[in-house]
C-alpha cells in the first residue's frame, strides 16, 4: 500500500473513519502508484501537477506501474520523464491547464522500453498556442523497445497531438488523435497534426486513428492545413490499418530527411480536403498497398517530387498496389492541377522526379451522379536529359472520369 505525505503525518493518530476511505482510494491503484496517494484530487480541475510527478517518480524508481484508475488529473506545464528504463503507465488521464508554444504535456526523453497500457491526454483549449514541431500531448523522443498502446489525445492548439521521434524497434498500437482545432487565420501551411513520426527506425504503427482536425484559415474548408499522420526521416516504419478522416492531408510521408523503405498497409482515408495518401519530397523505396481514399479534394494518392533544391533523397521507386480512389474532387477543392484518383507530380526543383513510381492493380472510380474526377491517373513529370526509370501503370483501371484515363506520358 502506497502512502502519501498527508497519511504518513497522521500515522497512528488516524481514526477508523479516515482509514476506510483511504483504503478504498488506494485499492484503485493496487500494485501501482496512484497520484491520489500523493495528494492529487483527480477531479480534472484542481492542479495535481506535483502529485502526478511524485507518483511517476515513485513508480519508475521501483519498476511498478502508474495507475490513476478512473480519475482525471489536471496538470500545469510539462511532465518530463527522462532517462528511465522500463517506465510503465498502466492507466492515466491528464488534462493540461496551461497550453503554451513549447508545451509537451507528457514528455519521455531518452527512455528505454516504455510501456503504456492506457493513456488519455487533453492538451487544453487554447487554439492559438503551440507549434507542431515542439508542442503536443504525448511526446516520445528516443529509446527503443517501446510498447505503447491505447493512447487517446485530443484538444485544441497548433500542436502535434501525438509525437514519436528517434525511436527504434518499437510497437505503437491504437493511437487515437482527434477533435482538435487551431486559430491561425493567416496560415499558409500546416498548423495541426494528429500523429507525428520523425526519424524512427523499424517501428510498427498499428491501427492508428485520426479524425476531425480543423482551423480557421479557410472558412470554406475548415480542415485546411491539418495533417492526420505526418512522417519524416523514417526508415523501415510500417503503418498498418490506419483510419483518417476530416483532415487536410490524410497520411503524409514527407520532409527533406527521406522516408526510406516505409510501408502503409490497409489505410482508409476519408474526406481529406487535399490528399488521402501522399509520398512527398523524398520518399524512397516506400510502398502503399490495399488502401482506400474516399472523397479527397485534389487526389486520392499522390507521389510528388522534391520541394526544395539539393535533397539527398528524392521521391523514387515507390509502389502503390491494389489501392482504390473513390470520388476524387468531390469536395470542390481546387488548384491549378486537375482532380485525379492517382497522381505523379513534379516540382520546379527537379523535373525528373518522381521516378520509378508503379501503380499496380489500382482503381480510380467516380461513383457520383455528377462526377468530379478529371483523370483516373495523371502524371506531369518531364524528362530533362538524365536517364530515369519511367513511372508505370500495371493492370490499372479508371471509371467515371471526365476527361481520359491517362495523361502526360501515359496518354
Q: What is the pLDDT of residues 171-221, one digit of tens each?
A: 999 999 999 999 999 999 999 999 999 999 999 999 999 999 999 999 999
Domain stop point among 29, 51, 66: 66
The total of structural domains in the chain comes to 2
Domain stop point among 48, 66, 84: 66
Are 95 and 19 members of one domain? no
For residue 69, pLDDT over 70 is answered with yes
* Secondary structure tally for the chain: helices H, strands E: 3, 35
Residues 149, 137: Cα–Cα separation, whole Å: 15
Are 10 and 72 members of one domain? no
Are 232 and 301 members of one domain? yes
229-243, 327-341, 342-356: the lowest-pLDDT one: 342-356
Instruction: Identify which of 302, 294, 279, 299 has the alpha carbon closest to the alpha carbon of residue 340.
Output: 299
Whether the model pTM is above 0.75: yes
Are 124 and 152 members of one domain? yes
Which residue's C-alpha cell is 487544453? 124
- Burial class (CB within 10 angstroms; exposed 0-12, middle 13-18, buried 19+) of 21: exposed
Are 17 and 145 members of one domain? no
* Mean of the per-residue pLDDT values of the chain: 90
305-316 pLDDT, tens per residue? Answer: 888 778 888 899
Collapsed DSSP state (helix, strand, coil) of residue 21 = helix
Instruction: Identify which of 22, 24, 60 has the alpha carbon closest to the alpha carbon of residue 39.
Output: 22
Q: Domain with 279 in it: what CATH number? A: 2.160.20
Cα-atom radius of gyration of the chain, to the nearest Å? 24
Q: For residue 77, what pLDDT band results from cuts at 50, 70 and 90?
A: very high
Q: For residue 347, what pLDDT band results from cuts at 50, 70 and 90?
A: confident
Range of the domain at 195: 67-410
Tell me the HSE value of 268 on the side-chain side, using a 13 A CA sphere.
6
Cell numbers placing 148: 505503447
- Predicted local distance difference test score (pLDDT) of residue 22: 35
For residue 12, pLDDT over 50 is answered with no
- Predicted local distance difference test score (pLDDT) of residue 389: 77
Alpha carbon distances (Å) from 216 to 129, 144, 223: 14, 38, 8
Instruction: Identify which of 155, 190, 157, 172 has the alpha carbon closest to the alpha carbon of residue 108.
Output: 172
For residue 285, pLDDT over 80 is answered with yes
Are 253 and 309 members of one domain? yes
Which residue's C-alpha cell is 487535399? 274
- Predicted local distance difference test score (pLDDT) of residue 29: 44
Q: For residue 388, what pLDDT band results from cuts at 50, 70 and 90?
A: low
Residues 207, 55: Cα–Cα separation, whole Å: 30
Write the DSSP symbol of residue 356.
Answer: S
Are 55 and 82 members of one domain? no
- Burial class (CB within 10 angstroms; exposed 0-12, middle 13-18, buried 19+) of 251: buried
For residue 114, pLDDT over 70 is answered with yes
350-379 pLDDT, tens per residue? Answer: 778 899 999 999 999 999 999 999 999 998
Are 51 and 124 members of one domain? no
For residue 238, pLDDT over 80 is answered with yes
Domain stop point among 11, 31, 66: 66
Q: For residue 384, what pLDDT band results from cuts at 50, 70 and 90?
A: low
Instruction: Identify which of 149, 193, 192 has the alpha carbon closest to the alpha carbon of residue 171.
Output: 149
Are 153 and 49 members of one domain? no
Separation of CA 306 from chain center: 22
Identify whether the C-beta of residue 235 lies closer than 8 Å to the C-beta of residue 210. Answer: no
Amino acid at each position: 500500500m502506497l502512502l502519501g505525505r498527508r497519511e504518513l503525518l497522521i500515522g497512528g493518530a488516524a481514526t477508523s473513519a479516515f482509514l476506510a476511505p483511504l483504503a478504498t482510494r488506494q485499492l484503485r491503484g493496487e500494485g501501482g502508484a496512484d497520484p491520489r496517494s500523493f495528494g492529487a484530487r483527480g477531479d480534472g480541475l484542481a492542479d495535481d501537477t506535483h502529485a502526478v510527478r511524485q507518483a511517476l517518480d515513485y513508480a519508475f524508481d521501483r519498476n511498478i506501474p502508474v495507475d490513476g484508475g478512473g480519475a482525471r488529473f489536471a496538470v500545469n506545464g510539462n511532465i518530463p520523464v527522462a532517462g528511465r528504463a522500463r517506465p510503465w503507465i498502466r492507466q492515466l488521464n491528464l488534462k493540461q491547464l496551461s497550453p503554451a508554444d513549447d508545451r509537451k504535456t507528457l514528455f519521455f526523453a531518452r527512455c528505454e522500453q516504455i510501456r503504456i497500457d492506457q493513456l488519455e491526454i487533453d492538451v487544453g483549449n487554447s487554439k492559438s498556442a503551440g507549434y507542431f514541431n515542439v508542442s503536443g500531448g504525448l511526446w516520445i523522443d528516443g529509446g527503443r523497445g517501446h510498447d505503447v498502446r491505447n493512447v487517446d489525445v485530443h484538444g485544441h492548439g497548433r500542436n502535434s497531438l501525438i509525437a514519436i521521434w528517434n525511436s527504434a524497434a518499437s510497437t505503437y498500437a491504437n493511437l487515437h488523435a482527434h477533435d482538435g482545432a487551431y486559430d491561425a487565420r493567416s496560415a499558409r501551411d500546416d498548423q495541426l497534426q494528429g500523429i507525428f513520426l520523425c526519424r524512427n527506425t523499424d517501428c510498427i504503427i498499428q491501427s492508428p486513428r485520426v479524425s476531425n482536425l480543423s482551423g480557421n484559415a479557410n472558412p470554406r474548408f475548415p480542415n485546411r492545413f491539418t495533417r492526420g499522420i505526418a512522417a519524416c526521416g523514417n526508415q523501415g516504419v510500417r503503418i498498418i490499418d490506419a483510419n483518417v478522416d476530416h483532415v487536410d492531408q490524410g497520411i503524409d510521408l514527407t520532409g527533406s530527411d527521406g522516408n526510406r523503405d516505409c510501408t502503409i498497409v490497409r489505410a482508409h482515408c476519408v474526406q481529406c480536403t487535399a490528399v488521402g495518401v501522399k509520398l512527398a519530397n523524398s520518399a524512397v523505396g516506400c510502398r502503399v498497398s490495399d488502401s482506400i481514399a474516399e472523397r479527397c479534394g485534389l487526389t486520392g494518392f499522390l507521389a510528388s517530387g522534391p520541394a526544395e533544391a539539393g535533397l539527398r533523397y528524392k521521391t523514387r521507386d515507390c509502389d502503390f498496389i491494389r489501392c482504390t480512389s473513390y470520388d476524387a474532387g468531390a469536395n470542390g477543392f481546387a488548384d491549378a492541377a486537375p482532380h485525379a484518383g492517382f497522381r505523379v507530380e513534379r516540382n520546379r526543383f527537379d523535373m525528373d522526379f518522381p521516378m520509378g513510381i508503379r501503380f499496380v492493380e489500382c482503381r480510380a472510380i467516380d461513383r457520383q451522379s455528377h462526377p468530379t474526377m478529371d483523370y483516373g491517373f495523371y502524371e506531369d513529370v518531364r524528362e530533362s536529359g538524365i536517364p530515369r526509370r519511367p513511372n508505370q501503370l500495371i493492370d490499372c483501371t479508371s471509371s467515371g472520369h471526365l476527361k481520359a484515363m491517362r495523361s502526360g506520358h501515359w496518354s
